[in-house]
Amino acid sequence: MGTTLSGTVRDKTLAVIPSASLTLDGSRTEVSGPEGQFRFLCVADGLHQLSATAPGFGKRELPVTAPHIRDVLLVLQLATVVTQLQVNNDAGYAGSATSSGSGQTISGSGIQSLADDPDDLLRELQQLASGGNQARVTIAVDGFRGASALPPKSSIAYIEINPDQFSAEYDAPPLTGGRVEVYTKPGQKTYHGALFTTNGSPWENARDPFSTSKAAIGKQLYGFELTGPVRKTGSDFAVTLEHRIMNNFAVVDAVTLNSSGDVVSTVANVSTPQSLWLGTARLDWQLGTKNTFIASYSANVNHLQNVGVGGTSLAETGYDSGQYEHMFRLSDVTTASAHFMHEARLSLRWDGQTDTPDSTAPQLQVAGTFTGGGATIGPQRLRELNIEADDDAILTTKKHTLKFGTQMMVYDERQQLTTNFNGTYTFGGGTAPVLDSNGSPISGQTQTITGVEQYRRALLGLAGGTPTAFSNVAGSPEVDFTQIQDALYIQDVWSPGHALHIAYGLRYFLENDPVVLSAITPRLGLLWSPDKNNRWTLHAHAGMFTGSFDEATDAEVRREDGVARLTSTIYNPVYGNPFAGATPINSLRRFSPRIAIDTNWMTENIGGTCTLGHGWNLSADYHFGRLWNAARSVNINSPLNDVPTGPRPGTPNWNVLQVQNSGQGLSNVTLVKIEQDTLKHIQLFFGGMRVKLVDDTGDSTFFTPQSSLTDAGEFAQSTGNPVWNLFGNGTFTFPSDIEFSGNFNASRDARYNITTGFDNNGDGDFNDRPQFALPGDPSAIATRYGLLVPTGGTGVFPRNKGVLPWTFYLDTNLQHSFTLTRDKKAAHQQTLTLNLRSSNVLNHLNVTQVGGVLASPLFGLPFSADNGRRVEGGLRYSF
């Protein structure tokens, strides 16, 4: 007696591998069929060892347990030199001469443990991939380099987190943003499908942080998947479709004025509903024994309401956003021989966004208290055609695996950028007359007032109520251009013997707008196993990396060109009639004539992995790097006497924000993790990371230092990057096939900047930081950083001194599958799966924003956070 163990053998592109040799427990053998399928009958319950080999591919070994409720997916790599540290069909990673210890592969039940909701799934993957700013994580699908939206979870076969990023194939260094490679499921040789739904009702969910009442938060998701053959052999299809309806709410937590002009706390729930459609279709066609053609289409259509509302942004600042992404992709994989494989890929992506603000009134930015009025984004309209053409080839010999190729991207942009066409009033506070009980100024007496007091005086027509500034953009909103990027790379892995593997490569990048022709970066990696049993694996890497100026950067520079669109700032304007008798200060952006590349990174890494036995693996890595030539913006025509209308080096009354290669930085990262996935009922992965990334760039091309004359205080921990990171996941299988899984991520010491709301040096940027108070200054403000004043003090207050509190996310899933099919030999069992999933199950307060404007009512206080606990139940019928 026993059960059937079945599965499919595929390569990394998920093309099937026929005639692969499979061995179970070193004795029983099978050969995969023409569709890559295999089956072992009468397999005893318990843990087994399965291995597979095929001509031109490396051997793959993994532990499996029987009974196994799902087909086993065996993915073989070309005959590259790889030491398998631990892999199985559910989770794992491989050590190679280009891997740096931060990667893992998720498939099978590992994917099932992830969130169904696209937003929660994206957050979980960003947390797994990120050693710093989660917003910089790149999502790539089916081997294409370009970032794209996540496909439906039901269509995902496996996910690679931070692949071998020291390989010349990749452009970004490890742990400065991270990369997620998603591979979708191919079709199967028999018809198979599923219907599924999830529901989260208001009674299941916790009240959101900072909300005084529980909102009617709910979510429904419906979908199906279907796969099967197009012809009897050699061709199959797979389709998925999902629809999500989310009734969500944003929490406004601001300080405003009531009808009497009194300062009041304003807390409100604002509905932010979403409606999302996700769909994919894929066709795999075997053109011969050595050639596979893959065509796929995916669509992501989303409608969101009241975007931008929450925290100190009032409901009136929201806008509706219609977003879409359509992708048509073609791949052709040719295995010419056991030693040579060629792959060509072409992607056409149409994406766009249409935004409609709730109000077109000028925006009101009252420093540190609230943002009201209309949305600055305006009636924006974005359209993009992205063409990606990749061509890769792999040549293997006895001791070498050589991979080389080209990666070309073309962005055709048609954008209507209406940002700040409605104008913005800034109330930053400052020096104002002292008022008596009747609101009249007291002669000879002044005081420093907050932005909200300044706004109150403006509404009541009192002295000191003149806005700090008014800014707007006028002209044509049309920004159209085409940007072309290309990268050429070559990478070799050499195995000279004695368990030593050496990887070396070279990458060259160029683009047309701005023109970059000098980005050549070498890479080197070493992997060595000092013991015969490969219990210890040591690696070291070094490499140079360059960034690129993406299409969004190019669009922003063009938007503020000073010709087709004129950006103006008026200081101390008349409220309601800002241009009356005013002298506008105009601004423009441009690239430095000596602009080279976006960033230069020199990164090194040392680390290793130890197999502890009984399925436990321990790994540790240390990264250190040097950043130079980083892009940032500097006002090269700021006033010489700190007065906006004062003398300047160049044209009077113009701010010239030049994008230049003047940024620098340093990084050191320590990573430790441990894994266990061979036990029958328990699989675990957890680790910790310390990321110290300091720079003077603000992690943005358009960051400007406090002063154009000095970088004092600018070198600081990078914005939004937590220093301490803890992460992990676990899957526990209980009797009766009840499965519990959890994913957690915790972080600490993410930084934010502390400012005054002023523009003391007249450079057009309201990012001035406080100063340390002089002894005896009666206006000094006591803070955790010492006695501070907005102006008139001494010393340089460092950037990013603010520290966000700990965040802790724990997402869980409890599920049970019922087998409905009586025939245990059926190719696809009919099953009914019930699950109960929760995000932020502990309902931890995960603060995202803290008041950073000195002397404002919210200074030092948290006012925005991620959602509270969300619970949803799911039902899935598979056939």
- pLDDT value of residue 125: 84
Q: What is the CA radius of gyration of the chain?
A: 29
Mean pLDDT (whole number) for 800-818: 93
CA distances from 691 to 95, 137, 399, 685, 780 (A): 22, 15, 36, 19, 34
Fold classification of 1-77 is: Immunoglobulin-like (2.60.40)
More confident residue, 135 or 316: 316
- pLDDT value of residue 599: 76
CA 530 to chain centre: 37
669-708 pLDDT, tens digit each: 999 999 886 777 888 888 999 999 999 998 889 999 999 8
Mean pLDDT (whole number) for 8-21: 74
Length of the chain: 879
- pLDDT value of residue 26: 78
784-801 pLDDT, tens digit each: 999 999 988 999 999 999
Mean pLDDT (whole number) for 289-306: 92
- pLDDT value of residue 641: 93
| Residue 52 neighbours by CB under 8 Å, 6+ apart | 9, 20, 21, 22, 23, 32, 59, 60, 74, 76
Domain segments of the chain as ranges: 1-77
Mean pLDDT (whole number) for 27-38: 79
- CA 675 – CA 730 distance, rounded (Å): 10
- pLDDT value of residue 709: 87
- pLDDT value of residue 35: 64
- CA 604 – CA 624 distance, rounded (Å): 5
233-266 pLDDT, tens digit each: 778 899 999 999 999 999 999 999 998 889 999 9
Please give the structure tokens belonging to residue 53. 């080999």
Highest mean pLDDT out of 146-150, 319-323, 615-619: 319-323
More confident residue, 287 or 461: 461
- pLDDT value of residue 181: 86
CA distances from 109 to 681, 733, 815 (A): 12, 11, 11
831-854 pLDDT, tens digit each: 899 999 999 999 999 999 999 999
Statement: residue 110 has pLDDT above 90: no
Mean pLDDT (whole number) for 745-773: 92
577-600 pLDDT, tens digit each: 999 989 999 999 999 998 888 778
More confident residue, 181 or 782: 782
Contact 460, 419 (CB under 8 A): no
Please give the structure tokens belonging to residue 563. 């010709």
Which among 373, 366, 363 is positioned nearest to 454, based on CA atoms?
Answer: 366
Q: Which of 202-211, 218-227, 248-257, 827-836 has the lowest mean pLDDT?
A: 827-836
517-537 pLDDT, tens digit each: 888 999 999 989 888 777 888
338-384 pLDDT, tens digit each: 788 899 999 999 999 999 999 999 999 999 999 999 999 999 999 99
Q: Residue 500: which H helix or E strand, with range?
A: strand 500-512
Statement: residue 228 has pLDDT above 80: yes
Contact 704, 662 (CB under 8 A): no
Which among 775, 842, 758, 743 is positioned nearest to 572, based on CA atoms?
Answer: 758
Mean pLDDT (whole number) for 310-325: 96
Statement: residue 178 has pLDDT above 80: no
Please give the structure tokens belonging to residue 813. 């899933």
Statement: residue 405 has pLDDT above 60: yes
Q: What percent of the chain is predicted at pLDDT more than 70? A: 93
442-482 pLDDT, tens digit each: 998 998 899 999 999 999 999 999 999 999 999 999 999 99
pLDDT band at 81 (very low <50, low <70, confident <90, very high): very low
DSSP structure class, residue 586: E
Q: How many H helices and E strands in the chain?
A: 4, 53
Statement: residue 88 has pLDDT above 60: no
Burial of 614 (0-12, 13-18, 19+ CB in 10 A): exposed
Q: What percent of the chain is predicted at pLDDT more than 90? A: 56
- pLDDT value of residue 690: 93
- pLDDT value of residue 70: 55
Q: Which of 289-293, 807-811, 846-850 has the lowest mean pLDDT?
A: 289-293
- pLDDT value of residue 463: 95
Q: Average model confidence (pLDDT) for the chain?
A: 88
Name residue, tokens 């990120």.
130
- pLDDT value of residue 383: 97
- pLDDT value of residue 547: 84
- pLDDT value of residue 616: 86
- pLDDT value of residue 702: 93
pLDDT band at 319 (very low <50, low <70, confident <90, very high): very high
